[in-house]
Amino acid sequence: MPGNTILTIASSPYKDQRPGTSGLRKRVQVFQQAHYLENFVQSIFDSIKPPQKALLVLGGDGRYFNREAIQIILKMAAANGFGRVLVGKGGILSTPAASCVIRKHAAFGGIILSASHNPGGPDGDFGIKYNTSNGGPAPEKITDSIFEASLKLTQYRIADAPDVQLDKTGDYTLCDMTVSVIDAVSDYADLMESLFDFGAIRDLLAGGFNIRFDAMHAVTGPYAREIFINRLKAPESSLMNCIPLPDFGKGHPDPNLTYAHELVEMLYGENTPDFGAASDGDGDRNMILGRNFFVTPSDSLAILTANAKLVPGYRAGLAGVARSMPTSAAVDLVAKELDIPCFETPTGWKFFGNLMDAGKVTLCGEESFGTGSSHIREKDGLWAVLFWLNIVAIKKQSVEAIVREHWAHFGRNVYSRHDYEAIPNDAANGVMAHLKAEFAHLPGKTFGSYKAEHCDDFSYTDPVDGSTSAGQGLRIIFTDGSRIVFRLSGTGTEGATLRIYLEAYDPVVANHHLDAQTALSELIAIAGRLSELEKRTGRAKPTVIT
């Protein structure tokens, strides 16, 4: 039998452990290599330098390799001097719930095991990231430090001890450290009930308003059951795919029109539910649907902002709002009317965290199906769903009616994102280099109905700490405010994902019925022509359109 002794294991650096926008994501087989996970965890601990007996939060989205990784990290935390670790029952915590737990219990930080919306299973993806004491993702200065430590690492420390029982709540001893296995759901559900009018939502559902929530066999299933079934008294038929599975039922747990096709077909069929929503692998993304109607994430952020005072947790008003640069400017128009600040940041929730910690913003969002607020420091899928249900309950209108009323008042920012996934890196980088080379010649040129006014590679100076983030996406902005943005995503594990964002502002109500792809067809053609995308990548069509 192994004892409770601390081992120092010799190891050599891996050169590919630079965290991306959401931590380190690789194929499962990469993390299963000898010492690979251990090296990265030790690099985290060496970089953050926790005080002795510090409190750590630990959990993941339940994907393949989650339980094994939890046991390794617990033993390494014990060997590195932590006093207590709060771990979700079964090793599971949604990303929003992990942020909630870190903040509620004043933890030194947390380790979240997730590859978010990426596929799971033994041939799928795995991920790990560190969140700081504010509950948010580590800023770049910390992730840079982790990578630098990984390149110098020669050994790691781990306890030689039995595995911890993860499936029963309670306190366990691991060397001199306490492992507290906690209810993964209650803290988060309590927080949601403190923010939203559960009575009004309960009455809405009792009155025959029919909803479907699709957890996509991912982490939000238990949270959805506690909130919708136990607390809001929705019928059992309201939930879909709510049993978490290590391979997400062989699906792609990304809540968009392509991968959440089962829910989409239901909402676009006959005798449809009144409201549909889905969340992703780790619970931080959301998709909102009405009957035969899709709400773009950009519009969603704007509508939540415009209607925030209908929700108890936000009746006092908003300090400000923030959006990522690729997200449409729909929320900017709302912020202007409300006379509150609106910040444009790079992609990545850590940039919002600084603004929230400084009291500059209350709501924030990204076009990539992520919205959230200062209640935690992560985007939050179920929070967004409850926010929408609270608005519907008070306004007593359909999802489509709420959106069209918003467009009639503010105008419509017609918006779409085209994703070209798993492009060879050289080809993707070639597209971006070609575009940058063209920037000097584009201003002043006319392309059909559009005239280019300005081109740049977006750079951001943080108004809180003064740090600068360059190279955040190529923008072509036209004289009427329309724009095309090109960006390489940092969330994939194979090749590169090239994302093209297209936006055109239309104040004419008579045009608001148009399908986004139809309304943006001229911009789509311009983007293809300017980027030489098909010629350089061989891709004639996007993998995903949202």
pLDDT of 1 over the 60 cut = no
Cα–Cα distance list, 269 to 212, 239, 290, 429 (Å): 13, 18, 12, 41
Q: What average pLDDT does range 396-421 have in this prediction?
A: 96
5, 160 in Cβ contact below 8 A? yes
188-410 is a CATH 3.40.120.10 domain: yes
pLDDT of 490 over the 60 cut = no
- Which string of DSSP letters, residue by residue, matches 269-322? SSS--SEEEEE-TTS--EEEEETTEEE-HHHHHHHHHHTGGGSGGGTT--S-EE
Neighbours of 408 (CB within 10 A): 12
187, 101 in Cβ contact below 8 A? yes
CA 245 – CA 388 distance, rounded (Å): 27
453, 477 in Cβ contact below 8 A? yes
CA 254 – CA 216 distance, rounded (Å): 8
**What is the pTM assigned to this prediction?**
0.92
92, 244 in Cβ contact below 8 A? yes
CA 245 – CA 378 distance, rounded (Å): 23
Residue 377's closest CA among 180, 107, 151? 107
Q: Which residues pair with 451 in a beta bridge?
A: 446
Q: What average pLDDT does range 420-442 have in this prediction?
A: 93
pLDDT of 269 over the 60 cut = yes
Q: What average pLDDT does range 44-54 have in this prediction?
A: 96
pLDDT on residue 2: 47
Residue 318: what are its φ and ψ, rounded to 5°? -105, 135
pLDDT on residue 350: 83
> What's the chain's average pLDDT?
95
The full 3-state SS of 110-178, as one line of letters, equals EEEECCCCCCCCCCCEEEEEEECCCCCECCHHHHHHHHHHHHHCCEEEEEECCCCCCCCCEEEEECCEE
pLDDT digits (tens, 9 = 90+) for 275-286: 999 999 999 999
pLDDT digits (tens, 9 = 90+) for 292-340: 999 999 999 999 999 999 999 999 999 999 999 999 999 999 999 999 9
Confidence bin at 214 (pLDDT 50/70/90):
very high
Confidence bin at 491 (pLDDT 50/70/90):
low
Q: What average pLDDT does range 398-416 have in this prediction?
A: 97
Q: What average pLDDT does range 234-242 have in this prediction?
A: 97
pLDDT digits (tens, 9 = 90+) for 349-379: 888 999 999 999 999 999 989 999 999 999 9
76, 82 in Cβ contact below 8 A? no
344 is written with which tokens? 């444009």
pLDDT of 493 over the 70 cut = no
Establish whether domains 5-184 and 188-410 are of one fold: yes
Domain made up of 5-184: CATH architecture: 3-Layer(aba) Sandwich (3.40)
Q: What average pLDDT does range 250-272 have in this prediction?
A: 93
pLDDT on residue 278: 97
Domain ranges of the chain: 5-184, 188-410, 412-545
The residue type of 525 is A
pLDDT of 105 over the 60 cut = yes
Q: Which residues pair with 412 in a beta bridge?
A: 506
pLDDT digits (tens, 9 = 90+) for 145-170: 999 999 999 999 999 999 999 999 99
390, 397 in Cβ contact below 8 A? no
CA 485 – CA 128 distance, rounded (Å): 29
pLDDT of 139 over the 90 cut = no
pLDDT on residue 492: 52
The CB-side HSE value for 461 (13 A sphere, CA atoms) comes to: 2
Decide: residue 249, CB within 10 A, 0-12 exposed, 13-18 middle, 19+ buried. Answer: middle
Helices (runs of H) and strands (runs of E) counted in the chain: 18, 27
477 is written with which tokens? 């902005």
Assign domain 412-545 one CATH number from 3.30.930.10, 3.40.50.720, 3.20.20.70, 3.30.310.50. Answer: 3.30.310.50
Kindly list the catalytic residues. 116
